[in-house]
Structure 1
Amino acid sequence: MASELHETILMAKQERHKNLFLNYRNLNHFPVELLKDEGLHFLERLYMKRNSLTTLPDNLAQKLPNLIELYLHSNNIVIIPEAIGNLARLQSLDLSSNALLLLCPEVGRLRSLRHLRLSNNQLKSLPPEIGDLQFLETLDVSVNQLVSLPNRLHRCSSLQYLSADHNLLSHVPRHLCRLTRLTQLSMAANRLTFLPLDLGGSRELQFVFVDNNLDLKGLPSYLYNKVIGCNGCGMSPQGGMACQESQDEALSEALLGLPAEVKAVASEADNVVPLEELAMRMLHQLYHQQHINPTDVNIPPTIPLPKSLLDLLQFPLGHCHRCTQAMFTVIYPKLFPLRHTALAGVHRRTTVSFVAYCCSSRCLRTFNLQG
């Protein structure tokens, strides 16, 4: 086996191969032949799936500087050296089905990276530096032990596919709603209790999988024609036409997932929005006008505000599903049972209700999922 491996690598050097396949070789250590002399500067793709590697060499980037794709699926790798960040041209890194306990921050230096696969490891957290990967399109961290996702993940402006199935996540970070290119979000089999009200507001996001989150009480109405996986959610089944009492009970259950800052739940009879809410909406409007056109002479100078309040102005707790008005302390909810939505004929056994959140009683009266 050793002689066969030596011949394979020798031929790759002599013929200047760009692709090298070393899968299923029972390798316990990274082949020294790859690192001798000048290494393989011309190698672009290295496949080392289903071996028994436990780590990578520190001089990997020095000897294989032009690697574009590195596949290490199904090994026993526990730690990745900091030098991994020196692979400046790397676009695809597959570390799925290893024994990773920690991911080094230097991964954030892989500025050309487009696909990062870390599924089926033992990761409890991800480094914030992942947010520096502006060209990242695919991130798969499913089947780990993650309790949260990095707050800076929303900086991955090119992200299209995010899978975090089978973790310990209790919520979806609201900042993810800013990922305008995200087309698929999969967070099945976690511990989700609610989803951000704005999730699904982007036209690009078409597939959201939240199966088997048993405490998930409701879904934002933005998702009513996008959600593909929603069976296993926690709403109790209701047969026939639900009476008003059962609808009220379902609505109260769905509202349990709202952020704590939303303290007031208004009804259609309320015609006046509280002064606190109006003030917050006005500050939010001024704040964003200043960022869109800072030279506008009609806009007053920036008002000094506490950082926590500024954060709230940047990320409202929700937007009206009728007119997109930002909402901070009060909402007007409206329940739509699944049978009234586009999913009624798709998920016959699912009883999830969609809750629309409006900014006023007027929007509440005019909001219609069928419109």
Structure 2
Amino acid sequence: MASELRETIFMVKQERHKNLFLNYKNLNHFPAELLKDEGLQFLERLYMKRNSLTTLPDNLAQKLPNLIELYLHSNNIVIIPGTIGNLARLQSLDLSSNALQLLCPEVGRLRSLRHLRLSNNQLKSLPPEIGDLQFLETLDVSMNQLASLPNRLHRCSSLQHLSADHNLLSHVPRHLCRLARLTQLSMAANRLTFLPLDLGGSRELQFVFVDNNLDLKGLPSYLYNKVFGCSGCGVSLQGGDAGQQGQDEALSEALLGLPAEVKAVASEADNVVPLEELAMRTLHRLYHQQHRHPTDANFPPPIPLPKSLLDLLQFPLGHCHRCTQAMFTVIYPKLFPLRHTALAGVHRRTTVSFVAYCCSSHCLRRFDLQS
């Protein structure tokens, strides 16, 4: 096997091949022949599926500087060196089905990276630096032990496919609603109790899968005309229609994950929202006007606000599902049980409901799920 490996690498060097296939070679160590002398400067794609590698060499980027694709599926890799961040041209990195417990922050330096696959590892967290991957299109972190996703993930402005099935996630960061190019989101078999109010508001997001989240009772009404999966969500109702009491319980459960100040939901009879909420909405409009027209003399100079408050203004809790008004501390929910919609026959193993979130009792009364 060793002589066959040397012969394969020798041929690649002689003929200056751009692709090298070393799958199923029973390799315990990275082949030294790849790192001799100047290495393989011309190599662009390296496939090493189903070997027994435990790590990568520190000088990988130095010896194979033009790698575009590195395929390491099904090895025993526990850690990858920070020097991997020097692979400036790398576009696809597959570390699925390894033994990774930690992902080095230097992965954020792979600025050309488009596809990052980390499924079936032992990751408990992801480095915030993943948010620096502005060209990243695919991120697969399914089958790990993640309790949260990085808040900076919303900076991956090119992200189209995000898969985080079979983890320990209790919530979806609401910042992800700002991913304008996201087309598919899959978070099945987690511990989700609620979804961000704005999830599905983007036209690009067409596929959402949250199956087998037992405590998930409510879906934002933005998802009504999307392709979504929610089988196995919620608690089965006993004896058919649960009536108004069942609806109230489902609504209460749908709001479980919201910030404490939002749980005190205003009633339909209340036509005036608190002054604090009105002030936040006004500041939000003014703040965004200033950023859209920074040189316009008609707008006052930037408001001197604490950074934490500025962060809040950039990421409101959600927007009214009827008029798109930003909402910060008060929402008006309207429940549409799935069994009352045309989709009831599609998702039979769930009691999940659609919940519309409105900014006022006026919008609440006028909102229609099918309008």
Deviation per CA, 1:194-246: give whole Å up to 9, x if none.
11101111111111111111111211111122252211212442665553333
More displaced 10-residue stretch of structure 1: 287-296 or 109-118:
287-296
Question: Are 2:48 and 2:72, in contact at CA under 8 Å, matched by a contact in 1?
Answer: yes
State TM-score, norm by structure 2: 0.96
Residue 194 and residue 5 in structure 1: after superposition, are their counterparts in 2 closer, same or farther (change >3 A)? same
The answer as to whether partners of 1:73 and 1:95 remain within 8 angstroms in 2 is yes
TM superposition shift of 1:327: 0.9
Residue 42 of structure 1: CA displacement? Answer: 1.3
8 Å contact kept, 2:197–2:318: yes
Question: What whole-Å deviation, never above 9, does each CA across 1:120-178 have from its counterpart, x for those lacking one?
Answer: 11111111111111100001111111111111111110000111111111111111111
**Count of matched residue pairs:** 371
Aligned-pair distance for 1:278? Answer: 1.1
Per-residue deviation, residues 265-286 of structure 1 (Å, max 9, x unmatched): 1222222222221111111111
> Is the Cα contact below 8 Å between 1:341 and 1:369 reproduced in 2?
no
CA contact (8 A) 1:196 1:220 kept: yes
Aligned mates of 2:241, 2:148 — CA distance in 1: 39
Contact 1:261–1:328 (Cα < 8 Å) also in 2:
no
Q: Which moved more, 1:292-301 or 1:279-288?
A: 292-301
Mapped to 2, the partners of 1:223 and 1:271 lie a distance apart of 27
Preserved contact between residue 193 and residue 254 of structure 2 (Cα < 8 Å): no
**CA displacement at 1:302 relative to structure 2:** 2.9
1:231 equivalenced with 2:231 (yes/no): yes
The gaps in structure 1 that reach 5 residues or longer are: none
SS of structure 2 residue aligned to 1:228: strand
Residue 294 of structure 1: CA displacement? 2.1
Cα distance change of structure 1 residues 300 and 263 upon mapping to structure 2, 3 Å threshold: farther
Greater shift in the superposed pair: 129-138 or 269-278: 269-278
Contact kept, 8 Å, 2:232 with 2:349, in 1: the verdict is no
Deviation at 1:263, TM superposition (A): 4.6
Tell me: CA distance 1:231–1:213, structure 2 relative to 1, closer, same or farther (3 Å): same
Q: 1:360 deviation in Å?
A: 1.1
* Alignment partners' CA distance in 2, 1:164 and 1:333: 28
Residues of 1 paired with 2:309 and 2:263: CA distance?
Answer: 16
> Distance in 1 between the 2:274 and 2:107 partners?
47
Change (3 A) 1:330 1:310: same
Write the deviation string for residues 280-309 of structure 1: whole angstroms up to 9, x where unpaired: 111111111111112333333333223222
Distance 1:241 1:99, change over 3 A: closer
Post-superposition shift, 1:340?
3.4
Pick which of 304-313 and 2-11 moved more.
304-313
Q: Distance in 2 between matches of 1:252 and 1:102?
A: 37
Q: Which runs of 5+ in 2 are unaligned?
A: none
- CA deviation profile, 1:12-41 (whole Å, cap 9, x unmatched): 111111111100000001111111122211
- Cα distance, 1:74 vs structure 2: 0.5
Query: Is residue 2:160 matched to residue 1:163?
Result: no
